[in-house]
Structure 1
């Protein structure tokens, strides 16, 4: 009986030790669980940093809001070339302008929606109120282009589009200088570079056409 009792006591002690060991493991698990939110805080910080990269200011909003109708007018001008232009190089240029600027309008419109920003000039039915934007054609300018054909259209189109592009470049440079949103600044840089190159192309073409 004494040996049996001693053996039972030894088994009981082993069970107690095992229970304590398991409790220790459970404590370690709770520490691991506790460390989870700490890791989550790091991820949250990264997320906040990402949100900061998507931030914007008034210059970004103005750039998107004003460039949309500016592009829309350029597309309106470009579409007139089909059926009115004489030189195939003018027709080709007009096609490239429309192809490049419509996707940019879509991008700019999406940003304004994301930013919950006032669309401003885009709500205007006519051309009124938009003349203050750089390079915008007046109603009289547009009517003159609409009524021109052949070589006269080519010359007028190039002259007007050069002025129009220069206005867009100025708007883009303002965004590059004072904007905050990195995507908007990148688009402004692309507009500045591409339209500056097109200005040079149009000036050369105008010279060749005797303008």
Structure 2
């Protein structure tokens, strides 16, 4: 009887030890599994999506059709203004008109280069000198016709001053209209910034020319 009890106790001890081992193994396995799941099942951190955000940010500098139209239109428009300003160097009678013309040439010459650079970088054709002539005059606001340019070329002194101021006011109003369209529809920030600068500077020059017109 005693031997039998001893065997029962021994069996119970072995069973208890086996149970404890199973429990410990389960606990250990649970920890490992938990750690492994945490490492693999974790959702991507915000930093993982950073490249996509950077890509979206870069797209903000892209251009659209309105930007291309603005550049292609403003180049011939500016070229004609520079041509008119160059005529004033030898034909204007007023020193104030000559000064204004020189300022217009100085401002718009570099803008032509900038606009041309944008078109080239976008894979677009830069308008040729021929496209800045008669055809452009029919398609853009404020452009002088060949007849008007011929009249300006043949005048001098006070007659030139009067014709130049009248034509340049009209020319500037056309440029402002084009710039406002770019500000409303354009996507390329540098182009929109240039449009804003054109509106500001040429509006001020229109006021100045209207005052000079009264003196001419």
* TM value normalised by structure 2: 0.74
Shift of 1:94: 0.3
Partner of 1:144: 151
Number of aligned residues: 171
- Pairs within 5 Å for 1:33-182: 42=50, 44-45=51-52, 47-119=54-126, 121-122=127-128, 124=130, 127-131=133-137, 132-182=139-189
- Sort the Cα spacing of 1:140 and 1:115 in 2 relative to 1 into closer, same or farther, 3 A: same
Q: 1:125/1:171 Cα in 2 relative to 1: closer, same or farther (>3 Å)?
A: closer
Shift of 1:40: 8.1
The alpha carbon displacement at 1:48 in A equals 1.5
Shift of 1:71: 0.1
How much has 1:39 moved relative to structure 2? 6.0
Equivalent residue number for residue 208 of structure 1:
215
Helix, strand or coil at the partner of 2:172: helix
Q: Structure 1 residue 129: deviation in Å?
A: 1.7
State the distance in 2 between where 1:126 and 1:57 align: 23
Aligned with 2:113: secondary structure? helix
Q: Determine the structure 2 residue equivalent to 1:3.
A: none
Cα distance in 2 for partners of 1:73, 1:47 equals 41
CA offsets, 1:22-80, max 9 Å, x none?
Answer: xxxxxxxxx9xxxxxx96862x3354134212111111000000100100000000001
Q: Give the unaligned 5+ runs of structure 1.
A: 1-30, 32-37
Q: Which residue of 1 aligns with 2:6?
A: none
Whole-Å Cα distance in 1 between the matches of residues 128 and 60 of structure 2? 26
Native 8 Å contact 2:66 2:186 kept in 1: yes
The residue matched to 1:140 in structure 2 has which SS? helix
Q: Which has the larger radius of gyration?
A: 2
Instruction: Measure, in 2, the Cα distance between the counterparts of 1:162 and 1:180.
Output: 28
Measure how far apart 1:181 and its partner are: 0.9
Q: Which runs of 4+ in 1 moved over 4 A?
A: 38-41
